């Protein structure tokens, strides 16, 4: 894992925690997504929202894939939730996105937690370890 991705992850988490402290838990995921995107862009970072993730199988590309909530600098994928608790399928979702995009680092951020630190799941693409 490159230091640059970890440094980027630290900035992302600091911004997410700050937003969560301001707004509190339990708002719609889209609220946290749009505000986090704006905040990261204000840091001068390249952030893409609702990025299509196609599926390629046996040389055929299927555009009916998935959408990543945020991809920062093309290196860190963020999946935003606002739920009572994270379940295994949420983590699997992030791992799937990482695998399909070939991105090494991702975070599942659950803004539904009373304290965001309890809602942060760091995910690493197993193909890059």
For 101, the 3-state DSSP assignment is helix
CA 48 to chain centre: 11
Q: Say whether pLDDT at 2 is over 50.
A: no
C-alpha dihedral, 18 to 25 to 48 to 1, nearest 10°: 70
CATH of domain 3-128: 3.40.1350
Contact 114, 90 (CB under 8 A): no
**Tens-digit pLDDT profile for residues 66-110:** 999 999 999 999 999 999 999 999 999 999 999 999 999 999 999
> Residue 46 and residue 74: Cα distance in Å, rounded?
8
Contact 89, 78 (CB under 8 A): no
């Amino acid at each position: 894992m490159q230091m640059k991705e970890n440094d980027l992850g630290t900035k992302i988490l600091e911004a997410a925690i700050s937003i969560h402290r301001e707004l509190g838990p339990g708002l719609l995921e889209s609220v946290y997504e749009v505000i986090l995107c704006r905040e990261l862009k204000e840091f001068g970072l390249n952030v893409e929202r609702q990025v299509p993730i196609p599926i390629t199988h046996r040389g055929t590309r299927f555009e009916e894939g998935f959408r990543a909530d945020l991809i920062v600098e093309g290196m860190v994928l963020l999946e935003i939730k606002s739920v009572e608790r994270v379940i295994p399928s949420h983590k699997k979702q992030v791992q799937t996105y990482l695998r399909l995009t070939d991105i090494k680092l991702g975070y599942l951020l659950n803004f539904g937690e009373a304290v965001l630190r309890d809602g942060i799941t760091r995910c690493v693409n197993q193909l890059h370890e």
